[in-house]
Chain A
Amino acid sequence: MAGVGGAETTARKVRWGVLNAVVVIYALFPVLWIASLSFKSAATLTDGNFVPREWTLDNYANIFATTEFVRALLNSIGIALIATTIAVVFGTMAAYAIARLDFPGKKLLVGVSLLIAMFPQVSLVSPLFEIERSLGLFDTWPGLILPYITFALPLAIYTLSAFFREIPWELEKAAKMDGATPGQAFRRVIAPLAAPGVFTTAILVFIFCWNDFLFAISLTSTERSRTVPVALSFFTGSSQFEDPTGSIAAAAVVITIPIILFVLFFQRRIVAGLTSGAVKG
């Protein structure tokens, strides 16, 4: 029986291995392709080879030589970081209140935030355009940060309140009995336990802001606040007749890097089951 069981698990492992490989290749192929394109020279760009025959860093040199891209990269990083920080800070406070307190209008607040998250963004573009133009926010950082926070906050509140609900309330009571003020209980007991939730939320919100194209293209007009996804669409070659594919590919690879770094950096802090051992057995 043991032999049969062993053969079966081997077969199963192989089956799953193949399936996993297919999924990974399917998911990563476009990424590898764009990376491959970014290393090709203009002449070999369309030769159809997956592995570049001539490796070149010209595309990277080109995009960093233009202020257009560098400026957009700075805009993207700045806007996404500011929006993420604000959304996570307010989201943490709101989520803690929602998870722990009973206050009048709590259901309404949760409902409205869900409504905002569900709202089709495209229907807001025209009114926002008009509003921002008359308020002087059009084509500025705050002009993008504000709508990002609006849409990221419900997401942050939802993710974080789920995390706060996981933290046993008795820990807070225990901290109080041990002599902590509410502030100390939050800082020394609740916040460290909620950290994985905060980091998860930060990643999600950052990715949302980083990837946005719709608001960025509608609410900006110049390099002043144009973010990378939009800047990419405005790429032209160094002359009118040059194909910008290589530059676009290089830029696409570059803007993927911050996301990968961001996730790798925070992933180590997202330890599942951090609260295990707090209560019961």
Chain B
Amino acid sequence: MAEIVLDKVTKRYPDGALAVQDVDVEIADGEFIILVGPSGCGKSTTLNMIAGLEDISSGELRIGGERVNERAPKDRDIAMVFQSYALYPHMTVKENMAFPLRLAKVDDATVEKKVAEAADILDLGQHLDRKPANLSGGQRQRVAMGRAIVRSPKAFLMDEPLSNLDAKLRVQMRTSVSRLQRQLGTTMVYVTHDQTEAMTLGDRVVVMRGGLVQQIGAPQFLYDHPTNLFVAGFIGSPSMNFVPATLENGSLRSGLGDVTLSDRIRNLLESADAPREVIAGIRPEHFEDARLIDDASRSRGATFTSSVEVLESMGSDKYAYFSISGEQATSAELAELAADVGTSDVPGDGISLVTRISATSTAKVGEPAEIWFDADKVQLFDPATGKNLTYSGD
């Protein structure tokens, strides 16, 4: 067990392309940290550099206080689980898990013991003599984990370990990965493109985009205080609604009507030197059916009326979808998010909104509903730089 420090770690390919740029992360001993971002953001490259499978172009990587830039993977004492599992097909489950120990020339009795322990933790006892070809996806995934945990490494690296499982198994394995990490108390670096995994698993999350770290923090902190449009749009599901808006004498004019901003937000905007044109971001849960709001809250926010396009009842809440007139918010970061999700070419008129309202709401599809939103929870972003003008995290 050890802490992992990335000090201005950069990966530049021979053709000059920058895959990862000046990544500074200090991963504490026993911490579960997630690297998350859309494909091509450099998260896997960063993981491979920690593993030693890719060279570090500049910067320093320290594991347990020692510089390991020049060490081969085998001398770094870290284990890795691959997205494809990469099980050795000519070996049985047992041989697969014993492989790292055999290479380390551990004696037979210890190998038996360690493999049995790992098999016990991962519930693989009855499959030890089978070949990977005869295992289900979930079982293969567990063998891959078993191979990583048998030799009690300093740290685990996981490269999208759950992305090949079907949805239900993924949820199940997610909790067992989390439990496993707590049980072993080993430092874990976990790469995923799935923001749900990032939110639910990690002690801290590193959001990356285009080889740059956007923000590092606890999942809830990133959710509440995104530093820019990209993090705001990436973290959270359904994602944050973005509406172009104009600031005028402390009030915000947008397709959702005019809102007087709270003093807190006004102060933040002043110190951030906000431009006139901004992008307002509102999380779905900060909307509510106006009929269910008491007067005190009502005065804190603003309401708009629009007809419900789609209504999804989730039992505990309802998701109501609206589309309001006006131009969609545009910025480079939002375009990248849309491209990643694959919605960039979905045609749509106006601005689409997702709201999460109470299950007791009587809103109906096709009928107008009056919707309230909390003005104090609105986050404002600079369209040019993507910066959160209302960031109050520090």
Contacts and interface: CB of A to CB of B under 8 A. Distances in A.
Contacts of B147: 174, 178
B335 interface: no
B87 A277 contact: yes
A193 B90 contact: yes
Nearest to B134: A277
B84 A177 contact: no
A278 B89 contact: yes
Contacts of A133: none
Interface stretch (A7-15, A146-154, A165-173): A165-173
Contact of A177 (B79, B104, B132, B164): B79
Nearest to B131: A277
Nearest to B83: A170
Interface in A243-277: 273-277
A272 B82 CA distance: 25
Interface string B68-100: 000011100011101011111110000000011
B133 interface: yes
Given A189-B88, A277-B131, A278-B86, A178 B137 contact: no
Given A274-B90, A278-B132, A177 B80 contact: yes
B53 A279 contact: no
B349 to A, nearest CB: 41
Chain A CB count within 10 A is highest, among B51, B82, B90, B137, for B90
Contact of A176 (B74, B133, B135, B140): B74
Interface stretch (A38-46, A67-75, A90-98, A179-187): A179-187
A171 B88 contact: yes
Contacts of B104: 179
B83 to A, nearest CB: 8
A173 B236 CA distance: 34
B84 A168 contact: yes
A197 to B, nearest CB: 13
Nearest to A170: B86
Contacts of A177: 51, 53, 73-74, 78-80, 157
Contacts of B135: 277
B136 interface: yes
B329 to A, nearest CB: 38
Contact of A277 (B53, B100, B103, B140): B140
Interface string B146-180: 01000100000100000010000000000000000
B78 to A, nearest CB: 7
A177 to B, nearest CB: 4
Interface string A180-213: 1100100011001100000000000000000000
A177 B155 CA distance: 12
B86 A171 contact: yes
Nearest to B165: A281
A176 B53 CA distance: 8
Contacts of B137: 280-281
Contacts of B133: 273, 276-277
A219 B136 CA distance: 58
A173 B86 contact: yes
Contacts of B74: 176-181
Given A178-B99, A277-B133, A192 B73 contact: no
A23 B140 CA distance: 44
B393 to A, nearest CB: 36
Contacts of A178: 74, 79, 99-100, 103, 147
A173 B52 CA distance: 10
Contacts of B89: 193, 274-278
B103 A280 contact: no
Contacts of A274: 89-90
B103 A173 contact: no
Contacts of A189: 88
Interface string A204-226: 00000000000000000000000
Interface in B39-54: 51-53
A281 B132 contact: no
A240 B86 CA distance: 68
Contacts of A276: 89, 133
Given A179-B74, A277-B133, A174 B86 contact: yes
Contacts of B134: 277
B84 A192 contact: no
Interface in B84-131: 84-90, 99-100, 103-104, 131
Nearest to B147: A178
Interface centre among A168, A174, A176, A280 (most CB of B within 10 A): A174
Contacts of A281: 136-137, 140, 164
A28 B104 CA distance: 55
Given A193-B89, A280-B164, A281-B164, A173 B136 contact: no
A280 B140 CA distance: 8
The listed residue with most B CB atoms (<10 A of its CB), out of A178, A180, A184, A278, is: A178
Interface string B188-215: 0000000000000000000000000000
Contacts of A275: 89
User: Which of A177, A193, A279, A280 is most buried by chain B, counting CB atoms within 10 A of its CB?
Assistant: A177
Among B51, B104, B133, B137, max chain A CB count under 10 A is at B133
A46 B7 CA distance: 90
Contacts of A171: 86, 88
Contacts of A193: 89-90
Contacts of B136: 281
Interface string B342-360: 0000000000000000000
Contact of B88 (A176, A179, A278): A278
Nearest to B157: A177
Interface of A: 168, 170-171, 173-181, 184, 188-189, 192-193, 273-281
Interface of B: 51-53, 72-74, 78-80, 82, 84-90, 99-100, 103-104, 131-137, 140, 147, 151, 157, 164
Per CB-CB distance, the 4 closest pairs between chain A and chain B, nearest first, are A277-B133, A279-B84, A277-B132, A281-B137
5 contacts: A168-B86, A179-B103, A193-B89, A277-B140, A278-B89
